Structures are given as structure tokens and as C-alpha cells.
Homo-oligomer: A and B are copies of this chain.
Amino acid sequence: MKIDKQNIRMTCRSPKNILLTDKFWKRYRDLVKKKMIPYQWSVMNDQADIKITKERGDHRIPSEKSHAVANFEIAAGKQKGGHYGYVFQDTDAYKWLEAVAYLLTAEPDRQLQKVADRLVDLIADAQQDDGYLVTFFIIEAPERKFKRLKQSHELYSMGHYIEAGIAYYEATGSQKALNIAKRMADCIHEHFGPGKEQIHGFDGHPEIELALAKLYEATGNEQYLELARYFLYQRGQDPQFLDRQIEADGADRHLIAGMEGFPLSYYQADQPILDQKTAEGHAVRVAYLCTGMAHVAKLTHDDRLYEACKRLWKNIVGKRMYITGGIGATSVGESFTFDYDLPNDTMYCETCASVAMSFFARRMLEIEPKGEYADVLEKELFNSTISGVSLDGEHFFYVNPLEVSKEASQKDPGKSHVMFERQNWFGCACCPPNLARLIASVDQYIYTVDPEEKTIYSHQFIANRASFEQGITIEQSNNYPWDGTISYTVSNPEKARFKFSVRIPGWSAQCYDFYLSGKKISKEAHNGYAIFDVTDERLELELKLDMRVREMQADNHVKTNLNKVAIQRGPIIYCMEEADNTTPLNLYQLPKEVFFTENYEPDLLRGVVAIEADALRDEPDDADASLYHEYQQAKKQMKRVRFIPYYAWINRKSGEMQVWTRKAD
């Protein structure tokens, strides 16, 4: 294995060098700090007075409380009792800790750090002598350790801790936090691998791969990278492995009810990863796997692995992604189905899957700065990730639909997973803390640096002040995503020679303007980036993006969106909802020629650009009319229609929502 140490420096990862000044994202990060983190802490300590929503199939899982912290107390021998919740309940605490780490990086907070330190202490106490830590198995079934990887989530759980431990170490310098991670990795390293006495297997839920790659970066210990690579390449080599383990453990002793019938492709375990041509199975698993693949491909210069990443990327982004960035077309197994199958009202589009897709996009960008990676990352950040949390930070979506009606969710069992209001908390609470850690670390997604090419890439339009090597600083200011003017002030006190490469979003590729020191210049983009040579002490650059309202159309193989358009402005996908418009919403139709008006409304939904237009509207048929009648051209009237950003839907009153609007042809 060729490990390219140089390349590690490629990413501008150090959040200490970047200060978020962005209005939009600071509000979200404040929400994480002031609402989500304290709220989740009280939930994990069973102190919050909440109504927990059970997901489909959850009636066999206890989920009246979280118990996540208590599970550690019991595993550590500080409290008596049994384990409660999912087998991967520990990860709620780990993702919380990781989010806290990013918050502390941005802004010290002694009180918060004290709470987190105590959690780290507790985790350390619960960790076993050999480094193992999954509270379910420690408490309920120590003899079954690593014996049922299809469902056990053991490496998945420890992987999440490893991510948290690294982040917490980087934020606070806590060696204790890092040591827990290293001891976990060492434990896994001992049990898994090609050795005769080792388990030649992998976890049913990818995660450990991306975590070990991060741990290698944090520690420089190559054995972690080798192990990550081992897990990636071992996956699917021996398709019967997972079921042989289950058979040995006892086929009737399931850990998670309802998973019995899922095929091996649900776990991306039916064939070796290099042979996997399409994204199959559980969407979160796919995106975590791809994130790990891309990270390891970069660190080991593995072209075949990168090709596999690109193949899966192309399949997901080109054939299986919603316009909001959501992935997972069916609720059965929260999974992908097939190319162009993108139903708007029965889909899954789990918040976690969009968070994971952001991770994947970031790792792809680190290998190769291509506009399409940054475009998808932007799509995720501004749409189907943050749609998972209410504007008050206290209510969450697990499933992010593109079309909702209350009656359908209540009365059609095929849509019972589609909530029409964000919920307090979930029995399987993976999404809220996952979103918290993404938002809290959004500053990590803005730039990458390629030292070989001496290039700083600006990927995302998120206002900040960042400092780089040789005293270089960049101040990015904007009022994005509402305004398309992006200003950069690059300071280069040492007059270093380097390139500053600014992304031109795909949606603005046909029309954008650059102003250099106030003077309009023409600049072509390559692979989605406009490249500026910097030699002077100071560079004043302004980019004006094409923010006009667009009517977007899906490939016409997407059955459900034929004759429909979705409204997009900048990176924001819009929707229509009952709070502003008359139901049924699908009776609206945009005419051939539409004139949109756009207004920034500071008091609407914490400040958004709302879009309005005159639309056609079919008169609803009489309630007593016969269900079928001979065709007559519809009677239509003009009616004003209003669109709001998709991420902000259902923050006023509950009711219908739709992203795709009919278009007159």
C-alpha cells in the first residue's frame, strides 16, 4: 500500500484558521449551540419531557426514552439496570460530543466543555480493558461480541466515537478523548484482519472505514489506514460471511426487528465494492461507505477505488437523487430502488442520508476539485439537510418528503412514515445529532488547499475570514443564499505566488461576472472553477452569480415529474405550502410564460427570499360530481402563488406541501 503523506496536507482542515461570519450559517450554528445541544443532552439523560415518535416497525423496539447516557453508566458499573434502546444507542452520545467539539472549536465555552469532559470520562469508564465499547453488548450479551456483525453495529458505533474523539481532541487537546478512540481502533485491529485468528469480516453498517481514515490523519498511525482499507476490500468478498455468523449466533435472536428480510445488497455486502455498479440498499450505508472509500482512495492513491467512487457518485447524482439532494427512494429499508425512480410522496430522503452525502461530496472534492462535487455539497447544505430541523431548532424530520398531505400520511399506510410536522424526538434518533455535527462543522466545507498546485479553492459561498500558510488570509463576504454577490479580499503580505480558484456553480455557469478591484473582467471556468493567479499583496474580487428564478425540470425518465417544474433560485429549492396557497396545491399550474417576483422578507421564516407568480389554477371539481366523466378542457383561473425555500417548510402551520408544480405545455 502506497500511502501519500503529502496529500494529507491537501485539505485545509484546521478550523482554527477559519472564522465564520456568515449570517445564514451562524444562525444555524447558534441554533445547534443554544437549542439542539442542550435539548439533546436533556433527552439523552431522560430529563426532557418529550413525545418520542416511533418509526415504522418500531413497535417492537422500546423507545419511550433515550437512556443513552444511562447505558454508559450501567456499562461502567456506576448504575444498575439493563440496556435500553437500539443496539447503536451509544452513537447518539458520540454525535452529540462531536458536534460539541466543533462548537468549542469555533468559540470556547467552559460550561459546555465541562459537561462534555464528564461525558468523555464516563465513556472512558465504560470502555473495557481491551478497548471494546458497545454498551448493549457489555450489558446484555458480552459473550456475543463481534458475533453478529450484520446487525450489531459494533464497528459502526465505535467508528462514531472515533470521529467524536478526534474532533474533541482537536478542539480541546483532550488526550483522553483521543486515547479512547485509539484503544477502540486497536481493539478492532486485533480482532479483524487477514490473520489466521482474526475475523475476516466487516460491519453491516459502514462507518468504521471513514473513521479509521480520519484517525490515521489525526495520529499518523498507518495501521489504522491499513485496517480501513482492509474493511473496504473485505466487504462482499465472502457474501455468506454475515449470514454464517447469524446462523452460528442463532437465527432467531435478532437484534433489530424488521431487518430479517433485507437482502445482502441492503448492506452493500453482496459483492466486492469494486464490482458494485449502482447504489443499492440503505442510502445512509451507501453514502458512509462511499465517504470511506473516497477518503482511503485519496490517502492511498488508489485509482481503482476512486473509479468505484466516481461510478457510484455518477449513479447516485445522475439517476437516483432528488432535486433537494435527498436520497433513498423507498421507506422499505430506507433504500435506493432503481434509476429514475424518484416518487415525491413515498420516498425516504432521510436527513442522515443527506448529511452523509455531504461527507461523500467533501471527500470527492478533496481528491479532485470539480464543480459537480461542490454543487452537490451545496445542494445538500442548503436544502435536504437543514430541512431536517425546524427554525426553532427543537423539532426534527427523519424523512424529508417532496410532497405531503396530512390525510395521505394519516390514512395511506404506504405514507405513514411521512410526517407532516417535525417531531420532538425519535426512537431511532440518528438524524438530529448528525445534522448538529454537520452544521457545527460547516466551516470545514468552504475551502481546500492543494499544496502541489499551490492553489486555494473556494468551494462554498459561506462568509468567513480564513488564514492560510505564508500569512495569506481570505475574507469572503456575502449575503448568500439570498444575494448572488460574493466578495473576496485576499491578503498576501508575503507576495507569495499561488492560485485562487473560485467555484462557479453549475446553475450559474452560463452567466456570471467577475469584478477585479471593481473592474469587470471576463473569466472562463474550468471544471467549474475560475482560476486567478495571485502575486500581489491584495486581491479584491467580486463574483456576481445569476440569481434569477429558474424553473427546473427532471429528466423525463422520472415518471412522477413529467410536465412539472421545481423552482430554484441560487442554490435554494423552493416549495409551495398550504400556509400560503389554496389546497389542493396540485391544482396550480405554471403557465408557459411566467413572471416571477422575488422579495427578501426579513420577517418571514427568519428572513428568506419569497417568490411569487401568477399561476393557472383548475377549479376543483364538485364534491358530488361523478368520479369519471368525459374529458373537458379544464376551467382555469389566474391565481397568485407563493413559493418559499424548501428547507423552511412547515414552520408555520401544518398542511400540504409540494416541490414540483405542474407546467403548462
Report A's interface with B, CB cutoff 8 A.
59, 261, 317-319, 321, 323, 329-333, 335, 337-338, 341, 346, 407-408, 411-414, 550-559, 562-563, 565-566, 584, 586-587, 592, 618, 620-621, 624-634, 662-665
Contact = CB atoms under 8 A, between A and B. Distances in A.
Given A346-B414, A556-B620, 20 more contacts: A59-B261, A318-B624, A318-B627, A330-B413, A333-B413, A337-B408, A337-B413, A552-B631, A553-B630, A553-B632, A555-B621, A556-B621, A557-B584, A557-B620, A559-B584, A562-B587, A562-B662, A563-B662, A592-B633, A664-B665
Contacts of A408: 337-338, 341
A402 B222 CA distance: 58
Contact of A412 (B318, B341, B566, B584): B341
A482 to B, nearest CB: 20
Contacts of A665: 633-634, 664-665
A407 B319 CA distance: 15
A327 B559 CA distance: 24
Nearest to A336: B411
A556 B337 CA distance: 29
Contact of A629 (B331, B552, B662): B552
13 contacts: A323-B628, A332-B413, A332-B414, A337-B408, A552-B628, A553-B628, A553-B632, A555-B625, A556-B621, A557-B584, A562-B662, A563-B662, A665-B665
A194 B506 CA distance: 75
Given A662-B563, A665-B664, A631 B412 contact: no
A595 to B, nearest CB: 14
Given A341-B408, A557-B584, A662-B563, A550 B630 contact: yes
Contacts of A629: 552-553, 555
Contacts of A565: 631
A556 B559 CA distance: 19
Contacts of A586: 559, 562
Residue among A318, A319, A414 facing the most chain B CB atoms (10 A cut-off): A414
A331 B412 CA distance: 10
A556 B587 contact: yes
A333 B411 CA distance: 12
B663 A631 contact: yes
Contacts of A556: 587, 618, 620-621, 634
Contacts of A663: 631
A256 B613 CA distance: 54
Given A662-B563, A665-B665, A630 B551 contact: yes
Nearest to A561: B628
Nearest to A59: B261
Contacts of A624: 318
Complex A-B, nearest 3 residue pairs according to Cβ-Cβ distance, in ascending order = A332-B413, A551-B631, A338-B411
A559 B552 CA distance: 21
A270 to B, nearest CB: 14
A327 to B, nearest CB: 12
A230 B414 CA distance: 36
Given A584-B557, A621-B556, A337 B628 contact: no
Contacts of A59: 261
Nearest to A405: B559
A665 B587 CA distance: 13
B557 A321 contact: no
Nearest to A316: B627
B411 A341 contact: yes
Contacts of A625: 555
A555 B627 contact: yes
Contacts of A412: 329-330, 337-338, 341
Nearest to A559: B586
Residue among A330, A553, A627, A633 facing the most chain B CB atoms (10 A cut-off): A627
A295 to B, nearest CB: 25
A563 to B, nearest CB: 6
